[in-house]
Amino acid sequence: MSGVALLGYLAGFLTTVALVPQVIKTWKTKSADDFSLVMLVTWWTGVVCWIVYGVIMNAEPLIVWNTITLFLAGAILTMKLKFNNRNEKEPAHAPVPVVNKKPEVKGLKDWGIV
């Protein structure tokens, strides 16, 4: 393997692996609110273009890592659509129940005064 190909694999590995923590966080929190839908669709489309370019240029590192990135980007895009749809059906804030409880009256002894 040439040094240039090795550099391509290293670059692809680093930029692809950088997405994994975000995918995990989005899944755990069930929230993709901070992602713009336009950005995600544009990013996903750009990754598809990189794969096509890699195929045309016969650039294996571009094909391999962008294919993996495509799935990660697709996962985030899917979670954005799924979680936003779920969040729109639920109220933003759950109603807080009102409890009619009389406040507890403390004496001087409770306050450490006597």
Confidence check: pLDDT of 45 > 90: yes
Output the average pLDDT for the chain. Answer: 84
Every domain of the chain and the residues it spans: 3-86
**pLDDT tens-digit readout, 74-104:** 999 999 999 887 655 555 455 556 666 666 7
pTM for the full predicted model: 0.66
DSSP readout, the chain? --HHHHHHHHHHHHHHHTTHHHHHHHHHHT--TTS-HHHHHHHHHHHHHHHHHHHHHT-HHHHHHHHHHHHHHHHHHHHHHHHHHHHHHS-SSPPPPP---PPPPP-TTTTT--
Mean pLDDT throughout 1-6? 87
Q: How sure is the predictor about 2, in pLDDT bands with cuts at 50, 70 and 90? A: confident
**pLDDT tens-digit readout, 9-37:** 899 899 999 999 999 999 999 998 888 99
Q: Tell me which CATH code domain 3-86 carries.
A: 1.20.1280.290
**pLDDT tens-digit readout, 52-78:** 999 999 999 999 999 999 999 999 999
